[in-house]
Structure 1
Amino acid sequence: MRSLLLTAFSLVFLLSCHTVQLNKATGKWIPLFNGTDIKDWIVKIHHYECGENFGNTFRVEDGIIKVRYDQYGPFNDRFGHLYYKVPFSYYHLKFEYRFVGELQQGAPGYTLLNSGVMFHSQDPRTMPKEQDWPISIEMQLLGGLGDGKPRTTGNMCSPGTNIVYKGVFDERHCIDSSSKTYDGDQWVQGELIVLGDSLITHKINGETVMQYSKPQIGGDVVNRYDPKIKIDGTALKSGFIALQSEGQPVDFRNVEIMVLPPKK
């Protein structure tokens, strides 16, 4: 027992030191993805324990985080997320993404050319094995379907959460942004500017496409969570950042963050 306690203490201490180092780097761009491996990230996939990267879902090749399902067979609702190891509160996040390949057999139709970046998320280590989505806010990423119809990206979705949008408390699960439609496998740049539980801004290819405020725990969509974690009405002032897998192959690269000074 003593050795377990020491191990737990060591982990907390190391994470705390890493957080302090990042906070000291306020105003500087820091890579979250080193281009080589995902040792600084935590995997949590529905139906599996935290840390189990079933089917090598999240892998690094050619300096890219690749989300793949070639070892799956039927998808079986194996919704997954790759979390950076420490939480953030005030920051500017940049990343690039592109959709590739075909939707995995058995994945829900709505996940076609669909992924996302979760933020202000609960710690993945607090998620039971059968919890499907993290309590979090999502910057939803969508690709055009090539049918000439608009399909915005950089939208807002809210698993187990709510926001204030255009000054009104809004319980909709997803709200469309004002972005353009991006077809094919082109790289698209996303940005998140997060100011604690205050203003949140989504940007796509340098253009602001959505803003909202006061993220908080509430609402549904999340299932089989630990009720001690989901306290509705709790303001979301900080949390983990995660890259999503939900049946569509997708690539991520150039994931970097600038820690911003907290609001006084």
Structure 2
Amino acid sequence: METSVFLAVMAAAALHACWNALLKIGLDRFLTACLIQIAAGAVALCTLPFVAFPQASAWPWIALSALLHIGYNSFLARAYQHGDLGQVYPISRGSSPLIVALLSVTLLGDHLPAGQWLGLLALVTGIWLMALRGGHLATRFNAPMLSSALLTACFIAGYTLSDAVGARNNQNALSYSMWLFSVSGLVMAVVLAASRGPRVFLRLGPHWKGGLIGGALSLAAYSIVIWAMTQAPVALVSALRESSVLFALLIGSLWLKESLAPIRLLACGLILIGMLVMKLA
């Protein structure tokens, strides 16, 4: 992987961790996810006059990705009903790179040398290790949380692969990203209105500033990832993107003064080793 692509994905991971750390707005997880996606769509909508219209071959993938995001948000919210952030987030985000790696090699023809497979496995192991000490110590793994988190990972893998194919077919990552977010924001607004009623938007209104900041950061982070997937194997980009878990941990330690247990330091070490091996292999 070229250094420029590697650094861009690291920046995307940091942006992803930042908007997750900053956006504590007092809504339930599903409403928060909807607010972020709708706000990101609104920001993307403002850019459409300045980007190209997607090619016809990209539109089926844009539509598929928008639908997969609905499943992602739904199962993520369900997972949080049965588990803590420190458990759900690492399991869902840490499992998707393995799914992406297996499917991208099989379906997209991407090739990963043995060294990059080792780096990917080290990074994923580190992320999963965080889940073992995630959340409250009294909270144990349970079947509903684990199944919902793993299904969330499947949806993450699904829209990641869909967007990789769509952006490559479109041959213009920026155009694809802006139209994708615009469509996804509209679809999520319709789904939210249908599931919670139109008055639900009154609940979102007071949080528009936080939502707009989070949406803009989310848009920037994933747009970088979509571009990177046109430049490098999808599996590598997907795995490095999930190093956002490491950035989130560092933010919590440095800014929020959260303590770091020895097992989480070990997890950080594995993630860093994985990142380094994937870069150098």
TM bin, normalised by shorter chain, reads under 0.3
Higher helix share: 2
Structure scoring higher RCO (CA < 8 A, sep ≥ 6) equals 2
Higher strand share: 1
**What is the TM-score of this pair, normalised by structure 2?**
0.24
